[in-house]
Amino acid sequence: MELKKDSNAVSIDMLLIVHSEKRRAAHGTHSDRQADPGALPQRRGGLQGVGNGIRRWQKFEGNDVHGNLAEKQHPQQTQVITSYDNQGTQLTVEVHPRDAMPQLLKKFSLAKRLQGDKNGNTRPRQPGAKDAHVYPWDRSSLKSMPLDLQEFEKLDTYASQVTVKSGLDELVSDLLQEAHSDLERVRVIWIWICHHIEYDIEAAQEKDRQAFKPTDILRTQKTNCDGYAGLFEKMCRIAGVQCMTVPGYSKGFGYQTGQSFSGEFDHAWNAVYLEGRWHLLDSTWGSGLVDSATSKFTFLYNEFYFLTHPALFIEDHFPDNKNWQLLKPPQSLKQFENNMYHKSEFYNKGMLSAHPETSVIKTVNGKATVTVESCAPTLFMFMLNGKQEHGLLSLRKNGMKLDIYPPTVGTHKLQIFAKGKSDIYSSVLEYTLKCNYVDIGVRLPAELHQPVGPSWFSEQMGIMKPSHPDPIIHTSDGRCSVSFSVEEGISVLASLHGDEGPITEETQRRYIFQTQREKRAELKVQLPQAGKFALKIFVKKRLEPGNYVFVFNYLLCCTNTKVNWPMFPESFGNWGQDNELLEPLSGVLPANRNVPFKLKLHGIAKALVKGQDTWPLTLNQEGYWEGSCNTAGCQEVYVMVLENANHNFYSYILKYKVNAQ
């Protein structure tokens, strides 16, 4: 053996002859199945080979016309075993048939770089200090390098429409027609894979997963994460871009909050070398998602996993080699398991941070609080054990606050959803909530929806300057008055909801009496009994068809058990929102009494009160219609108006009931 040194490599001249019957020993862990020379390496329990590197079985000769290695191995042919470790070291060994005469000694090199392949690519260097990003995330960007995604629009459209004509080389060649830099080359490959390769759920769930060859992936357009990563690496190498496949653990399909990771690695992704630095991406997760209920894959492009900032990538990707975290300091597996998992939509929707920062939280005196900070006003909702109950969610200009009150002791599942710029709420956070005490006094109405209290959203919907900016209103006598400015052309509707007593859809609005003075609306509320109630606020543009839209609600609280207010009078369509009722406010009048009436009515000629008899109302100097009626001998009393003095048709505007004698 001759040892030679130079500045670039250490070379060893050697000859290793392995007899055919001992090839099983040379194959090591691959003895249970034939190694496929054209297949992409699998990622089960880490990579096989020297130093956890990549092991490839190659023929000495016999490539097909597309550069793909032939599938069949002949026992009488010379075989070459090539392996790389994590430092980029190459070890190559020839395996000869037993009776074959070896050729002259071959020179094999243990070097820090591979010899160039047919495209002139060299073995990429391992990540170092200049590749590392500071942890935790500095909020500068979701990407690991400056990108203007708008500049990719034409390129993305082109790449997504390229079709497979024959082999992998021609596909890459077609994709590169519009790519003029390494970044654009990586981009077109990424876009093509994300839009054409479907995640093969059945193959991914097989206990002994078979290797995926690029030719098979192109033919079936299906693969698992190993296949995605391997195909991406192969295409990048053909394109002349340095790329590595990185195995590791992931918080993907089937992940349970707070779970531990051990044993075989369950995922694989890629690192690409661009502009003198390593960057991370995951084409498997960029292509779509798996529905946990149906276990079906759906193409749904996710930009987040393209050149993701490493401090964000580490939240759901933990590589086998800490250097591939591209972080300083790197995170431990325990930190990976315990750290809060922000789903990609958390960042896609513009979220910046969430507290608590651990995935498992405990209640304190029956309550837990979650806050989220966002870079722009965002709509949120939550679910506790699949229901929108037992929580108070208030919107903030840049985020939200959620107070959650689990109804029972034990473990609960808390999900946070955000809407962002789209019309769809997406899951962005998931907590495991542990409760060891329930505060019975904090039972919330089942109809208390989200959000609670006025916010930037209610302003956006035309409700401004509320008299009560806080979401909770306490009343000692069971009555309150809420007012706010209303944008011109906006109609407001309110309803009251509680968990006790039979409250119908009609009576939900009869405990609220609404008036409007100029551009300010007032809601007078009387509670039927003590307890907690949801006061819901809806709006609608007057000139547009359609239903009222829910905006927000208040939580009304009253502990006075003597409270037993009646409903307000029933109002009809001709009761204008700018009318004002001073008395009587109770919708139930006493029997055999003279009852005074005082109202402000706009645009009418005459007004009267009708019971057993008819009593006219007169207009005073202050602009109020006044009068009285006697309730003797009647069960109902109506307020009626004549809008046109030239007509004799009166309209009903208010209805009162009279107590039984």
CATH of domain 346-442: 2.60.40.10
**pLDDT grade for 273, boundaries at 50, 70 and 90:** very high
pLDDT value of residue 398: 93
**Which is more confidently placed, 41 or 471?**
471
Q: What is the pLDDT of residue 39?
A: 40
Domain with CATH 2.60.40.10 in the chain: 346-442, 456-558, 570-658
- Beta-strand runs (E) in 277-365: 277-281, 288-290, 297-299, 317-319, 327-328, 351-355, 360-362
pLDDT at residue 201, as a whole number: 87
| Average pLDDT of the chain, as a whole number | 83
pLDDT, position 267: 94
Check residue 64 and give its pLDDT.
Answer: 36
- Name, of 451-460, 537-546, 652-661, the range with top average pLDDT: 451-460
- Higher-confidence position of 644 and 414: 414
Q: How would DSSP label each residue in 277-301?
A: EEEEE-HHHHHEEE-TTT--EEE--
Does 147 score more than 50 pLDDT?
Answer: yes
Residue 212's pLDDT is 84
DSSP 8-state assignment for residue 49: S
The residue among 84 and 443 whose pLDDT is bigger is 443
pTM here? 0.75
Total number of residues shown for the chain: 661
Report pLDDT for 323: 96
Between 3.40.190.10, 3.40.1350.10, 3.10.620.30, 3.20.20.220, what CATH number should domain 152-327 receive? 3.10.620.30
Residue 574's pLDDT band, with cuts at 50, 70 and 90, is: confident
Is it true that domain 570-658 has CATH number 3.50.50.60?
A: no
Mean pLDDT value of segment 206-214: 73
Enumerate the CATH 3.10.620.30 domain ranges in the chain, comma separated.
152-327
List pLDDT tens digits, range 96-133.
Answer: 555 444 433 332 322 223 334 445 545 678 899 999 99
Judged by average pLDDT, the poorest of 94-108, 181-195, 346-360, 612-626 is: 94-108
- Write the DSSP string, 221-260: -EE-HHHHHHHHHHHHHHTT--EEEEEEEE--TT--TT--
Which pair of tokens denotes residue 411? 């473990």
Work out whether the CA dihedral 352, 357, 358, 364 comes out positive or negative.
negative
In the beta sheet, which residues pair with residue 243?
A: 272
209: confidence class by pLDDT, cuts 50, 70, 90:
low
Phi, psi torsion values for 310, nearest 5 degrees:
-55, -30
Q: Give me the mean pLDDT over the 253-275 stretch.
A: 92
pLDDT at 62: 34
What local confidence, expressed as pLDDT, does residue 125 receive? 84
439 pLDDT exceeds 80?
Answer: yes
Active site residues: 225, 267, 282
User: Is residue 617 within 8 Å of residue 609, measured between CB atoms?
Assistant: yes
Domain 456-558, CATH number (from 1.10.8.350, 3.30.499.10, 2.170.190.11, 2.60.40.10): 2.60.40.10
Alpha helix segments (H runs only) across 90-208: 153-161, 168-175, 182-196, 201-205
Q: Is the dihedral of CA 290, 291, 297, 298 positive or negative?
A: negative
Between 53 and 329, name the one with better pLDDT: 329
Check: CB of residue 93 under 8 Å from CB of residue 102: no
Task: Name the token pair of 181.
Answer: 């830099």
- Cβ atoms of 94 and 79 closer than 8 Å: yes
Distances (CA, A) of 11 to 1, 96, 111: 10, 22, 7
Residue 233 vs residue 59, higher pLDDT: 233
Task: Report residue 45 CA to chain centroid gap.
Answer: 30
Q: What is the mean pLDDT of residues 437-455?
A: 93
- Mean pLDDT is lowest, of 342-351, 360-369, 511-520, 600-609, for 511-520
Cα separation values, 487 from 269, 295, 394, 553, 603, Å: 52, 47, 22, 18, 22
